[in-house]
Amino acid sequence: MSLPHAKSESYRIFDAIAGRYDLINSVLSFGLHRLWRRAIRRSLPSRPGLTVLDLATGTADVALELIRSPRVDRVTGLDMSQGMIALGRDKVQARGLSQKISLEVGDAQRLPYAAASFDAITMSFGIRNVPDVLACLKEMHRVLKPNGRTLILEFALPQSRIVRAGHLFYLRHVLPAIGRMLSGHATAYTYLNQTIEEFPYGQDFTALLQKAGFEKVQFKNLSFGIVNLYRGDKL
């Protein structure tokens, strides 16, 4: 679950709360983040020998989920937060997966990789905090191999009025208070609802994927529509 703030500086907040991030994630998502990560893994291309790039990798939870797939040979994780990457490296090493998962500090808007380097790219709850979303999506398209796939998890607003009202109440009032208590950071979770309400989702976001060059673009609702899983292929 990503932390909205001044977008170009949001990684500084992640650095500040890195040690408590995994606990906060579990509490605030009621453990649903595990189901969302599995949905990404199950949506990977069906061919074997995949090399995957995981953007906004944080403490490597998604990377660790992806490497569980027998189709995945190697995962590279990238994140702007050195604190999150450091914790992620500890988790990867503790599981004996350092030969299969590498974590690096870098900017998703300027990927330090050659064109056509990866079979799949994933990003979970990070695209909303990128200052230039279209630039990021174009970079993802650039470093994908032909027949590659991008999978993006991001928050959305449910279509049901009742579910939406309850979800917005949670985002605006409950989540900031719990996040502040658990993180010890005064503003880390204060603006989460604003970024969710303002960020394009559903068909509006698929239009951005298409503009970046992706084809066969689609999305599906998860958890009553509070999260969307977007997919775009490079043919």
pLDDT tens sequence across 83-115:
999 999 999 999 999 999 999 999 999 999 999
- What pLDDT score was predicted for residue 231? 98
151 and 231 Cβ atoms separated by less than 8 Å = yes
61 and 32 Cβ atoms separated by less than 8 Å = no
pTM: 0.89
Residue ranges in the chain whose pLDDT is less than 50: 1-5
Domain ranges of the chain: 7-234
pLDDT tens sequence across 131-167:
999 999 999 999 999 999 999 999 999 999 999 999 9
Q: Which of 123-156 are b and which e, b meaning 16 or more Cβ less than 10 Å from the residue's Cβ?
A: bbbbbbbbeebeebbbbbbbbbbeebbbbbbbbb
Domain at 7-234: CATH architecture: 3-Layer(aba) Sandwich (3.40)
Q: Which helix (H) or strand (E) holds 148?
A: strand 144-155
| Cα separations in angstroms, 143 against 122, 129, 177 | 12, 20, 39
Q: Report helix, strand or coil for 150.
A: strand
The bridge status of strand 118-124 relative to strand 50-55 is parallel
Using alpha carbons only, give the angle 31, 38, 228 rounded to the nearest 5 degrees. 80
- What pLDDT score was predicted for residue 4? 39
